[in-house]
């Protein structure tokens, strides 16, 4: 069975919970592609599986071997995101065992989003200024559409950055 599941980096728990419920219903994740949004499942016996998403584009071999030694299996890896799984019987295991490792993960994601935001902002400013400078007296649908699209991207980045910042502050308490 294949499924498209859109998830957001600052809300990994919801996606992880979805995968765990699928495994409990007998649908075990076989593979994930296209930024871990297209999921392929295979029918198996219902089981308890813990999933964990981690954004870490620079895992060292030592870090990977520690995770693998703890019986975590990498189901998928895409643009810095790793999707880990581990079967269990009684107590649900967690890849991140303390708040500091969750904060580190979210800071890595915050940095990349901030970098992307900073690259988009000049494009928005240039688009808006050209739109008003050259097309102030006439209606230009393409420039207005482009300005609206860029504005939506900027609002999305601001929302994502705010959510991650608030999440990091929550962990620090």
Segment 126-139, tens digit of pLDDT: 777 766 665 555 65
| CA dihedral over 92, 83, 66, 105, signed as positive or negative | negative
pTM of the model: 0.77
Per the prediction, the chain carries an average pLDDT of 86
Which residue, of 87, 120, 137, is where some domain finishes? Answer: 87
Tell whether 76 and 112 lie within a shared domain.
Answer: no
Q: Confirm if 19 and 29 have CB atoms less than 8 A apart.
A: yes
Tell whether 103 and 162 lie within a shared domain.
Answer: yes
Residue closest to 171 by CA, chosen among 51, 20, 13, 6: 13
pLDDT tens readout for residues 5-37: 888 877 888 999 999 999 999 999 999 888 888
Query: pLDDT at position 19, please?
Result: 95
Which residue, of 59, 87, 115, is where some domain finishes? Answer: 87
pLDDT tens readout for residues 99-118: 888 888 888 888 888 888 88
Q: Worst-scoring range by mean pLDDT, 69-73, 104-108, 137-141, 143-147?
A: 137-141
Tell whether 77 and 111 lie within a shared domain.
Answer: no
Tell whether 76 and 108 lie within a shared domain.
Answer: no
């Amino acid at each position: 069975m294949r499924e498209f599941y859109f998830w957001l980096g600052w809300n990994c728990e919801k996606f992880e919970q979805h995968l765990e419920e699928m495994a409990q219903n007998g649908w075990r994740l076989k593979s994930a592609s296209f930024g871990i949004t297209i999921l392929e499942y295979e029918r198996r016996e219902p089981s308890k599986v813990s999933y964990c998403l981690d954004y870490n584009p620079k895992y060292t071999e030592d870090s990977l071997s520690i995770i693998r030694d703890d019986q975590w299996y990498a189901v998928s890896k895409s643009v810095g995101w790793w999707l880990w799984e581990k079967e269990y019987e009684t107590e649900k295991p967690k890849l991140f065992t303390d708040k500091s490792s969750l904060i580190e993960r979210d800071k890595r994601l915050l940095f990349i989003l901030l970098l992307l935001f900073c690259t988009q902002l000049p494009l928005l400013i240039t688009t808006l200024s050209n739109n008003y400078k050259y097309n102030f007296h006439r209606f230009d649908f393409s420039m207005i559409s482009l300005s609206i699209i860029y504005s939506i991207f900027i609002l999305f980045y601001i929302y994502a950055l705010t959510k991650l910042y608030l999440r990091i502050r929550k962990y620090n308490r």
